[in-house]
Amino acid sequence: MIKSDIDPIEAERLKKLGIQTLLDLALLLPHSYENTYLSSAPLLEQNNTLHVKILSIKQSPKVLQMLLFCEVWNMQCDGVIFAPKPYQKALFKQGVECYVSGKISYKNGRLQMLQPRIITQINQLIPKYKTPLQNKTVLELMKRHLSLESLLNEGLHVKEAKSLLSLHFPTPQEVSAFEKQGYPPEIQKCLKFTEIYNYLKKLSTKKVTFPSCAKLAGDETAFIASLPFTLTQDQQKVIGEIKRDFLGENATKRVVMGDVGCGKTMVILSSVMMAYPKKSVLMAPTTVLARQLFEEARKFLPLHVKSVLVTQESDVKEDLEAFDFMIGTHALLYKELPQCVLVMVDEQHRFGTKQRSLLATLVSKKAWHPHYIQFSATPIPRTLSMIQSSLVDFSFIKMLPYPKDITTKVICREHFKDLVAHIHAEISKHHQCIIVYPLVEESEVINYQSIDEGRGFWEKNFESVYVTYGKDKNKEAILDAFKEKGNLLISTTVVEVGISLPRLSTIVIVGAERLGLASLHQLRGRVSRNGLKGYCFLYTNLAKSERLEKFSQTLDGFEIAELDLKYRQGGDVVEGSIQSGKKLVWFEVGSDEEILKEAKSRIEGTQSPLVQRS
């Protein structure tokens, strides 16, 4: 770390640079180097420093031309300054001897130095930093704080420390190599490692543990034995991990990540049983999803475990103190909630950080810290979960209770007639279909029909057609009505999260290339919920899309998360950005997993064979 006893002026300078740690400073790299070593021979197309005598001067309003003589080279050279400033005209005078620096080129059979500058310090290499501070100030900071000893104290190995020091205090040979070929692979690897290692160290300081409000030793085994189906091995494994958390000294902080349709509801209900007879609360992003979870709770939990639904629509008159399990939307945040030992948030990425933490605050009092579990059916790439595991514990549910049988096809305009015939055939089997449009209203920018433009065709050719979208105030009621009576739903991506439609066999996504693969996977996950044969049609105007073709070849959400990362640019990965808003510059989330493993193992104090301590 940066020394804590630095003076206030220095602290303010570091703050201006956004420097919190010594490795932050080490990763603030020069954008160029000023080489003032005297050149013994001309180096073409490079900066040269030489001692010259000005033999003659020729001025015009826009150009200052000089004839220079370099004694060491024993030859003349032209000096040219375009748009000369008054101070330059005053410095460059006939007969003056001085040290100059500038780029040397060969033009019309003569050597020429463009925009020469008079310098006073020679035989030095001066790193140039782009920062809000003067370069001289940054140089002083580097000299004062960066050393082999200080970098080793941060946990770097000798080779890594020396590599970083060579960027701030290089030899002329190293600078020449950097300028010609960029950083060599070993330095790039060192920068990747240092960056993610520094980031993980920062994250580890943010991980706060609290003593738990209570150890939860409720018995879930009778509940699991009463279920009309057997839980998958992954469900059982995650329930075991949560049980260990509940019996520990500290409050649980866990993210349970599963694929679409992986059966996380049973993990939620098992957690409630482990907390019983103490109280649990769960917040879901939509009324439809909250109601589904409530219905599942009433269906599967024992009768003595009392559940209640809290939404804007459900006007709960009873005292919530009378219930064991409260399920609701953000409406929970506006209720007087009893103390709960277990707080759960479903589809946690749909809520802001403040909303998620506010729920935990509402059910806790001062030193009372409930167990906290977040659930998500949107898998993230393995590397991102490894990074975030510095803050929270992760559990994964990859096995599905019902093997999904979904055929995914990329289609275009010429397949439309076949698509209509397919939808007719599915509806004749009492199955349902959804068509997802990218827009509600017509747009001149997007080359696809909107709901308003497309709905007429479907309403004319099919019966029991329902239409809804995100800002539709009645969308919850329309989705409920469609679930019971509908054949065809025309919608936007509002159907992406959570809604359970057992009869849904087909989803058509218009303008599929406009959506991220994670969103496409969520939409496709609406079909084949109970083992029904499913179909997903990706409608596109593109002649060819490798991304959509790859997506159509796998149903594994964790594989799709890796694919999504591959096709997105690294800078678009929000989770890969450092807390202050800076992006990870060197570390590639998609391809540097081994480097990440080494950084994690070193922070945890275990040695990996990847990097030797030398």
Read off the pLDDT of residues 90-103 as tens digits, 9 standing for 90 and up.
999 999 999 999 99
Please report which confidence band the pLDDT of residue 139 belongs to, taking 50, 70 and 90 as the band edges: very high
Say yes or no: 295 and 342 in one domain: yes
CA-CA-CA-CA torsion sign (472, 477, 483, 485): negative
Helix (H) or strand (E) holding 407: strand 406-411
Nearest to 459 by CA among 428, 435, 484: 435
| Those residues with Cβ within 8 angstroms of residue 170's Cβ, 6 or more apart along the chain or in another chain | 33, 125, 127, 178
Whole-number percent of the chain with pLDDT over 90:
42
Nearest to 597 by CA among 396, 383, 380, 379: 383
Q: For residue 108, what pLDDT is reported? A: 86
The SS3 call for residue 495 is helix
- Interval 547-566 mean pLDDT: 84
Tens of pLDDT, residues 164-193: 999 999 988 888 888 788 888 999 999 999
Out of 6-10, 387-391, 464-468, 520-524, least confident range? 387-391
The answer, yes or no, to whether residue 211 has pLDDT greater than 90, is no
Say yes or no: 139 and 114 in one domain: no
Say yes or no: 464 and 487 in one domain: yes
What is the C-alpha separation between 212 and 215, in angstroms, rounded? Answer: 7
CATH number of the domain that 49 lies in?
2.40.50.140
Say yes or no: 29 and 41 in one domain: no
Q: What angle do CA 202, 395, 236 make, to 5 degrees?
A: 160
Please report which confidence band the pLDDT of residue 33 belongs to, taking 50, 70 and 90 as the band edges: confident
405 Rama sector, left if φ>0, alpha if ψ -120 to 50, beta otherwise: beta
Q: How many domains does the chain divide into?
A: 4
The answer, yes or no, to whether residue 81 has pLDDT greater than 60, is yes
The answer, yes or no, to whether residue 244 has pLDDT greater than 60, is yes
Query: Are 327 and 345 spatial neighbours (Cβ–Cβ below 8 Å)?
Result: no
Phi, psi values for residue 345, rounded to 5°? -125, 125
Say yes or no: 189 and 333 in one domain: no
Out of 6-15, 297-306, 386-395, 481-490, least confident range? 386-395
Name the more confident of 552 and 476: 552
Out of 81-85, 139-143, 321-325, 560-564, least confident range? 560-564
Q: Where among 397, 419, 440 does a domain terminate?
A: 397
Say yes or no: 195 and 231 in one domain: no
Q: Where among 79, 99, 119 does a domain terminate?
A: 119
Q: For residue 52, what pLDDT is reported? A: 95
What is the C-alpha separation between 333 and 200, in angstroms, rounded? Answer: 33
Q: Is residue 594 domain-resident? A: no
Residue owning tokens 């003595």: 304
- The amino acid present at 443, given as its one-letter code, is S
Name the more confident of 415 and 614: 415
The answer, yes or no, to whether residue 597 has pLDDT greater than 70, is yes
Say yes or no: 140 and 168 in one domain: yes
- Other C-beta atoms closer than 10 Å to the C-beta of 222 total 9
Q: Is residue 268 domain-resident? A: yes
- Interval 311-317 mean pLDDT: 76
The SS3 call for residue 338 is coil
Q: For residue 181, what pLDDT is reported? A: 83
Phi, psi values for residue 64, rounded to 5°? -115, 115
Q: Is residue 328 domain-resident? A: yes
The answer, yes or no, to whether residue 513 has pLDDT greater than 50, is yes
* 477-484 long-range contacts, CB within 8 A, separation 24+: 479/288, 480/288, 482/432
Task: Specify the pairing of strand 32-35 against strand 75-82.
Answer: unpaired
CATH number of the domain that 393 lies in?
3.40.50.300
Say yes or no: 312 and 272 in one domain: yes
Say yes or no: 382 and 304 in one domain: yes
Task: Specify the pairing of strand 253-258 against strand 371-376.
Answer: parallel
Helix (H) or strand (E) holding 372: strand 371-376
- Other C-beta atoms closer than 10 Å to the C-beta of 304 total 8
Say yes or no: 527 and 387 in one domain: no
What is the C-alpha separation between 296 and 291, in angstroms, rounded? Answer: 9
Q: For residue 355, what pLDDT is reported? A: 57
Query: Are 285 and 350 spatial neighbours (Cβ–Cβ below 8 Å)?
Result: yes
Please report which confidence band the pLDDT of residue 399 belongs to, taking 50, 70 and 90 as the band edges: confident
Name the more confident of 608 and 469: 469
Q: Is residue 2 domain-resident? A: no
Q: For residue 613, what pLDDT is reported? A: 41
Q: For residue 241, what pLDDT is reported? A: 95
Residue owning tokens 């609406």: 526
The answer, yes or no, to whether residue 104 has pLDDT greater than 70, is yes
Q: For residue 84, what pLDDT is reported? A: 92
Name the more confident of 61 and 26: 26
Query: Are 395 and 262 spatial neighbours (Cβ–Cβ below 8 Å)?
Result: no
Q: For residue 393, what pLDDT is reported? A: 82
The answer, yes or no, to whether residue 134 has pLDDT greater than 70, is yes
The answer, yes or no, to whether residue 242 has pLDDT greater than 90, is yes
Q: Is residue 190 domain-resident? A: yes
Within 230-286, where are the H helices? Answer: 233-246, 264-275
Q: Is residue 577 domain-resident? A: no
Q: Is residue 423 domain-resident? A: yes
The answer, yes or no, to whether residue 1 has pLDDT greater than 60, is no
Q: For residue 282, what pLDDT is reported? A: 94
Q: Which two tokens stand for residue 304?
A: 């003595």
What is the C-alpha separation between 154 and 156, in angstroms, rounded? Answer: 6
Q: Is residue 611 domain-resident? A: no
The answer, yes or no, to whether residue 579 has pLDDT greater than 50, is no
Q: Which of 136-150, 205-219, 595-609 has the highest mean pLDDT?
A: 136-150
> What average pLDDT does the structure give for the chain?
84
Q: Which two tokens stand for residue 36?
A: 């003032």
Say yes or no: 434 and 415 in one domain: yes
| Those residues with Cβ within 8 angstroms of residue 499's Cβ, 6 or more apart along the chain or in another chain | 286, 288, 289, 292, 479, 483, 526
DSSP string, 47-85: EEEEEEEEEEEEE-SSEEEEEEEETTTTEEEEEEEES--
Please report which confidence band the pLDDT of residue 480 belongs to, taking 50, 70 and 90 as the band edges: confident
Tens of pLDDT, residues 109-126: 899 999 999 988 888 888
Q: Which domain holds residue 250?
A: 221-397
Q: For residue 168, what pLDDT is reported? A: 94
Provide the CA 164 distance to its chain's centre, in angstroms.
27
- Interval 443-467 mean pLDDT: 85
Say yes or no: 309 and 341 in one domain: yes
Q: For residue 506, what pLDDT is reported? A: 93
Please report which confidence band the pLDDT of residue 271 belongs to, taking 50, 70 and 90 as the band edges: very high
The answer, yes or no, to whether residue 368 has pLDDT greater than 90, is no
Q: Which two tokens stand for residue 199?
A: 């980031």
The SS3 call for residue 118 is strand
- Interval 17-42 mean pLDDT: 89
Q: Where among 119, 141, 159 does a domain terminate?
A: 119
Please report which confidence band the pLDDT of residue 34 belongs to, taking 50, 70 and 90 as the band edges: confident
The answer, yes or no, to whether residue 294 has pLDDT greater than 60, is yes
What is the C-alpha separation between 399 and 263, in angstroms, rounded? Answer: 9
Q: For residue 236, what pLDDT is reported? A: 96
Q: For residue 499, what pLDDT is reported? A: 66
Nearest to 269 by CA among 369, 344, 378, 376: 344
